[in-house]
Each structure stands twice: as C-alpha cells, then as structure tokens.
Amino acid sequence: MRSAWIAGVVAAVTIGNATMAARAAEIRLAEQFSMGYLQFNVMKRDRLIEKYASQRGLRDFKVSWQRFNGPVAMNEALLSNSTDIVSGGVPGLITLWDKTRGTSFEVKGICALSSQPFLLNTANPNVKSIKDFTERDRIAVPSIKVSVQAVLLQMASAAAFGDDNYAKLDPLTVSMSPPDATIALLSGAGGISAAFSVPPFQFQQLEQNNIRTVLSSFDVLGPHTFTVAWTSARFRKENPELYAAFLDAVKEATAIIAADPKGTAQSWINDSNSKLPLEMVTKVVTASNVEWTMTPAATMKFAKFMRRVGTTKNEPASWKEMFFPEISDLNGS
C-alpha cells in the first residue's frame, strides 16, 4: 500500500514539475474553514507577501488563495502541484510528513499560526461526557478519521476507553464543514447531535441554550497548536525568495493581530462573507486561551499518538524533524 502511494506521489511530482515550468511565477495558498488562519486574512488585505517578495526583487508574480474543507483534498492538491502552501490542523501535516518522508517530494511544516482549543458541543441532554454517546448519536467533523477533530476524538477515546478502543466513536462521525455543521446543530434538522468544531462556529453554537460543551481539546492535550502551515521541500528549494517572503509576511501579520484585534476581526468577517457580529468575532481573537504564534506547541503529542495507534509509520525524534529549519530556534514542542 505504501509503495503504491509513493508511486502515485512520484507521478504527481513528474506532472507537477512540468506544470511549474509552464506557469508564470505564482504562489498559491490554501486554508480551511475557521478563524485559525487570521494571518492569511491580514496577508491578503495588506498584500504582505507581495511586499516582502518585492523587497527581494520579485514583482511579476501572482498570489492566489484557495479554501478546502478538511485536509484530504488539500493535501492531494499539494501533492498534485495544484497549490503551494497549505494550512490546517497538526495531524494533516503529520500524515503527509510521514507518507513523503525520504521521497523526492518530502513535506514539512513552515510554522504554526495559532494555539487555541477545539470544542466538542452537543445538543443531546443525555451526553455529559464522551462516554455517554450512543449509536443513535452523530458527531460532525470536517473529515472522518483524518481531520484534527477526528484525531482529537480518537485521543479522547483512548484516554476514556483505552488505546485498543481509540476508534470506538469513529462510526458516529460524519463529514461536514463547520458552517454546515453549525446550521445542522442549531436547527436540529441535520441529523447530527454533536459537532467537533472551530471558532467562531463553536461559540455561535453555544449561544443556543440547549447546546453545551462536552469536551475541549485542551482537556485532552493541554495548550496545543491549532493551525499550522506546510509545504514541500521542492517548493522551498525552487522558490527561496517566495518562501522567505511568506515567512516574513506571517511574522508581520501575527504582530498586526496583536496590535489591532478588532481590525483583524473585521478582515475575517469581510474575507469570509460572515454575518456574525464584530463584537463576537473580536472576542474570539482576544480570548485568554487563544495565542497567535508561529511557535509549534504539542505537535509531538499528536505524532506520538498517531504512531502508537498505527495511523502513521514514523515518529519524529523531535518537532524540529517535521518542520523546516527557519523556525528551529523557537521554543516549540
């Protein structure tokens, strides 16, 4: 199975090389549905990649943005050279790092974007903990088995039921984007009784009186990286100026979020075409358990668990093995 997968990667790389040679200078970035990518919103608004690329002599190029629901399609886009830099939860990075390790298309992390909790919310009054879910319940996650929420549910299940039963609740999960899951949970008509969600949608859910939190991901891991950006070693090698410009842009965007959280919240609303009130979104940006940071946190906890239960074949010696060296001086974990 692994050899077949790698053969597919090699084929994708061959096609990708031809595509890269044929296209004009461009950097294509992918994100998912949540407020975990605020640096990207700021980078779009203020044209920060263009700013730092221009300082390096790059002017005739395009910056484009894409949005995916879950890591599977996004990672496939990276492997097929349909995008250049992707972002999401830590398991998405670990999965691709594990599968491409030692190949010509090795994938590693660039930097973290934020640290904040995922919340598992439910409308079922009988569910006080994950042990109370039954076969009648359905739990919405962006992608079954592989999304960060699905992996967190497995980690919580391993803690509650033992490692041998880490997948005990997997049959209850259904794939649904956070916006759609929120609509379904709030209306009661979507066939789901719980959602492992993301901000701001998880807080929007909690505004309805019959919905409450069953589990926070911080209960499982402690503070951890919420979102991270990753790319291929090939893109980094062949586009050093764009890669460096991206890192500088993330650094400035992170500082802007801290200096102007309200303006950042408005940028997210504008970029997402959201109808949520500015006050609510600003509270998410400035919450005490939210940190906008490029430093990876608790990534090794994810990696050790995924290796222990057999989701991955390799365990990194440290978090630095999964990330490119530009951030190796940070106090990550």
Contact present, 143 and 180 (Cβ < 8 Å)? no
Concatenating the DSSP letter of every residue in 94-107 gives HHHHHHHTTSTT-E
Q: Is the pTM of this model over 0.85?
A: yes
Q: Residue 262: give its domain's CATH number.
A: 3.40.190.10
Average pLDDT over residues 254-277: 96
- 111: tokens are 């930097």
Q: What mean pLDDT comes out for the span 232-256?
A: 97
Contact residues for 73 (Cβ-Cβ < 8 A; gap 6+):
none
1 pLDDT tier (thresholds 50, 70, 90) = very low
pLDDT > 90? residue 259: yes
114: pLDDT strictly greater than 90: yes
Q: 213 with 119: CB under 8 angstroms?
A: yes
User: What is the domain extent for residue 242?
Assistant: 2-116+224-327
Q: Is the pLDDT at 260 greater than 70, yes or no? A: yes
Residue 284's pLDDT band, with cuts at 50, 70 and 90, is: very high
Say what the pLDDT of residue 70 is: 76
Task: Indicate whether 332 belongs to any domain.
Answer: no
Residue 299 lies in a domain: yes
**Is pLDDT above 60 for 245?**
yes
Which of 173, 195, 221 corresponds to the end of one domain?
221
Instruction: Provide the pLDDT confidence category of residue 7 given band limits of 50, 70 and 90.
Output: very low
Query: 60 falls in which pLDDT band (50, 70, 90)?
Result: confident
Residue 279 lies in a domain: yes
Find residue 65's DSSP bridge partners.
29
Cβ-proximal residues to 86 (8 Å cutoff; 6+ apart), any chain: 29, 30, 31, 68, 74, 75, 77, 78, 92, 229, 230, 231
Q: Is residue 59 part of a domain?
A: yes
**pLDDT 10s digits, 202-215:** 999 999 999 999 99
CATH code of the domain in which 132 resides: 3.40.190
Number of compact structural domains in the chain? 2
What is the helix (H) or strand (E) element at residue 253, kind and residue range?
Answer: helix 240-259
Q: Is 283 among the domain residues? A: yes
Strand partners, 291: 115
